[in-house]
């Protein structure tokens, strides 16, 4: 049985429903991905930082690990690289930077990823992370002729580390996600920024 309310009361009831929904949405807070996108955009105003983003987004897809929550960053640093504090963070970074083999995307991209993750975990400050990444980015840039070659080298090394077929016929889900990231970057960011951007004197 539907109550025969006056039109004015129906409008008031509808307005109350909308108000309750809006309040519920506000309590949920901002969308985390929107916040991440805004921070990526802010950093990308600096060409050096944008170049570095264009490298680490091969792996992360749509985020900068520096802007993860602290608990998540600590968990990832521990589970991925057995880093449990600032001293181990520095030690593992040093190992990536001086791996005892020619410069390559596998070592140097992992340096960049861990440096940015260290910001969120509280092991290094943001300015310090960008500063330590710069010479690594310059070495990474010098090791390959273009974005595609660098990305492909990383994927091949990742397959080797995970004991996956080199031809990609049995890639796991995370490697497939990286391939999708690369395809997206080809059609977007990589078209807009030269791989050979001078990084020495660029702001950052």
pLDDT of residue 2: 47
pLDDT of residue 31: 80
- Please, what is the Cα angle at 169 between 167 and 174, to 5 degrees? 100
- Please, what is the Cα angle at 59 between 69 and 120, to 5 degrees? 20
Q: Percent of the chain, pLDDT > 70?
A: 84
pLDDT of residue 9: 59
Q: Percent of the chain, pLDDT > 90?
A: 79
- Across residues 174-199, what is the average pLDDT? 97
Q: Are 48 and 204 in contact (CB under 8 A)?
A: yes
Domain boundaries along the sequence of the chain: 33-192
Confidence of residue 1 (pLDDT cuts 50, 70, 90): very low
Phi, psi of 39 (to 5 degrees): -70, -40
Confidence of residue 27 (pLDDT cuts 50, 70, 90): low
Question: In the predicted model, what is the mean pLDDT of the chain?
Answer: 91
- Across residues 122-128, what is the average pLDDT? 98
| 3 state SS for the chain | CCCCCCHHHHHHHHHHHHHHHHHHHHHHCCCHHHHHHHHHHHHHCCHHHHHHHHHHHHHHCCCCHHHCCHHHHHHHHHHHHCCCCHHHHHHHHHHHHCCCCCCCHHHHHHHHHHHHHHHHHCCCCHHHHHHHHHHHHHHHHHHCCCHHHHHHHHHHHHHHHCCCCCCCCCCCHHHHHHHHHHHHHHHCHHHHCCCCCCCCCCCC
pLDDT over 70 (residue 128): yes
The Cβ of residue 180 has, within 10 Å, a number of other Cβ atoms equal to: 11
Confidence of residue 28 (pLDDT cuts 50, 70, 90): low
pLDDT over 50 (residue 79): yes
pLDDT, tens digit (0-9, with 9 covering 90-100), for 81-110: 999 999 999 999 999 999 999 999 999 999
pLDDT over 90 (residue 25): no
């Amino acid at each position: 049985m539907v109550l025969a309310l006056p039109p004015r009361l129906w409008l008031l009831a509808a307005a109350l429903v909308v108000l309750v929904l809006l309040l519920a949405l506000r309590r949920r807070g901002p969308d985390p991905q929107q916040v991440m996108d805004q921070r990526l955009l802010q950093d990308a105003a600096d060409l050096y930082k944008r170049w570095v983003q264009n490298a680490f987004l091969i792996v992360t897809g749509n985020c900068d690990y520096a802007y993860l929550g602290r608990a998540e960053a600590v968990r990832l640093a521990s589970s991925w690289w057995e880093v449990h504090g600032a001293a181990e963070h520095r030690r593992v970074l040093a190992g990536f930077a001086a791996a005892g083999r020619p410069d390559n995307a596998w070592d140097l991209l992992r340096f960049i990823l861990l440096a940015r993750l260290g910001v969120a975990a509280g092991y290094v400050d943001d300015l310090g992370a960008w500063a330590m990444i710069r010479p690594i980015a310059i070495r990474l840039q010098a090791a390959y002729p273009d974005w595609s070659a660098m990305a492909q080298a990383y994927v091949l090394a990742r397959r080797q580390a995970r004991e996956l077929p080199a031809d990609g016929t049995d890639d796991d889900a995370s490697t497939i996600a990286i391939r999708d990231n690369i395809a997206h970057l080809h059609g977007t960011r990589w078209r807009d920024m030269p791989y050979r951007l001078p990084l020495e004197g660029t702001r950052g």
